[in-house]
Structure 1
Amino acid sequence: MSVHDQLVLCLCELTRLLWKLMLPLLFLSVLLIAVLVLLVLAVRFWLQSSRNARRARDGRPTVAFFHPYCNAGGGGERVLWCAIRALQRRYLDINFVVYTGDLGVMGQQILDGARRRFNIVLPRPVQFVFLRHRLLVEPGLFPHFTLLGQSVGSVFLGWEALTEFVPDLYIDSMGYTFTLPLFRYLGGCRVGSYVHYPTISTDMLSVVRERNPRFNNPDYVSNSLFLSAFKVVYYCLLAMLYGMAGSCSDLIMVNSSWTLNHILSLWRAPNRTSVVYPPCDVSAFLDVPLEEDGDKKCHSIVSIGQFRPEKDHRLQISAFKKVLDRRREGAGAGRR
């Protein structure tokens, strides 16, 4: 037997062996997929049965807001309470639920805090569902791959919320986008979202591509070609998953034109996306006189914003310093 014939015989034997192994693997794969589909359908049926039983008991639909930090007292919380107040005034036959992770307080204490901080009093009570595993979305839990860790953690936290209470309409008001598919496809809910700040943006991708050191792109990453390339791939994959999760939303609201542009580029749902500007209470400013004091002439620059890394206050201070330095240089040249 020639070498060619031996090679052909070996290839035939190898093909037969692979085929014998392929059939059991294919059968096992089909079986696992079938079991997974049946499991998902069973969970969906269980959750929807729970919702239908609650709906029959209450006799009215329920809107639920996912806001694990509803007692924080920031701008996002003002949006939450203003939204609930507006909806309660318009829809008298709807119940409202807030998913929160603030375990150290009672529901009435949260409402009292909203009244003190924002001067917002709800027309009717709301039901609070207290979540025990808010730690899963804490950034400190994920020193590396923070965005991915928080996204995965939000899915588990969303699962806890869904199993505790199944609403008719689910609204993510804090940016946990990866909970949307959970409530839509498993809970059978209509879902909406209000986006304050995109989890990942094209600006973040450009910072990494250009290897600029920032708060979320440390020097050891920006100085390394390999780490920068790896981070670009990581961000691109995360952006793709983020867009897929966000596109599940039946209604998308964003807080600014800047956020709108990023969400449109990532979620690709222009027909369902609208800008809803955050509420601003200006009643306290109505008593401030608008007349200027003629004896006092000065130029003031006021910067308003929370002290958060993405605000990049250090860059703002550096820019102001350059303006002052140029002004001093101009004044010195004028004296000469």
Structure 2
Amino acid sequence: MTDQPHAETVPETAPETSTASSRSGGPAARLRLAGTNQRQVLGLVAVLAILATVGGITTENFFQVSNFVLLLTQASIIGVVSIGMTFVIISGGIDLSVGAIIALASVWATTGATQEFGTAGMLFTAIAVATVCGLVNGGLIAYGGLVSLIVTIAGMAAFRGLATLISGGRPQIVETPGFSAIATTDILGIPLLVYIFAAVVGIGWLLLNRTTFGRHVFAIGGNPEAARLAGIDVRRVRATVFVLSGVCCGIAAIMLTARTATGASTHGTFYELDAIAAVILGGTLLSGGRGTLIGSILGVLVFTTVTNIFVLNNLSTPIQQIAKGVIIVAAVLLQRRANKEAAT
């Protein structure tokens, strides 16, 4: 943790480079990793520019304002989930239960009993349920000594099963106008959902890059034993990142439920894969210790833009899935190459 003063000069990359430096050694390695991060972000911007060019060539509707608003709205929900996932992966963990948490939160928030408490009651229920799910995951992983992959796979099955049990496998209609208004309200022509996404991004960025907690997240992801010897409560930090992931899932559940006007046990299907893919594409290491929220957001926008172009061109869902798979593999290969260059 001797590199903390350096964090003020390179805010987006310093925490991650401090942990990486303990493995690759010295200021030169830190500068190489910072440069790698910047190149990855610039690369994603270039990819978005290429996709926009392709979209403009293949369909005349791509550059319409309404399409950009739709694209941002579609990106907002999975984007919020990806913020929480970025914290988890940087810390060295993985969360495969996010989609199931969204389903459970949406179902619980739309039961008849909950809707009697109005919009405030539904909002509180969604956040509370998702937070408790994150706390269960984090507690078992941090204090139970279990592997995050196993715990969150179990959570994926249990949480979605509970959602199905509560809803009886049927969609529950939102009958509270104030709650539905979350998805239909526009401010200056931009949906409220996009503003919610922007707020979560801002809070997440500050938490990750401008707080001691954020530096600790990078530290335990880079070298948990060194972090422990430096006096960091590794278990508490590890549990907290899963709670944060749960909170993000609760917010995403509110957004998705308001947009679809239903709570359903099928909500959030494959969201865990989309979020992990976006985070990896954004440059976050699966092994932990390095990553950026800006990269994750760009990763979300890349996948959302790809889907948007395919939909505008009436291409089938299987083709979209193949394209996503190719993008993920390419991102991992490029990430490995960048890591080798940074280490030499």
Measured against the shorter chain, the TM-score band is under 0.3
TM-score (norm 2): 0.24
Q: Higher strand fraction: Structure 1 or Structure 2?
A: 1
TM-score (norm 1): 0.24
Higher relative contact order structure (alpha carbons within 8 Å, sequence separation ≥ 6): 2
Q: Higher helix fraction: Structure 1 or Structure 2?
A: 2
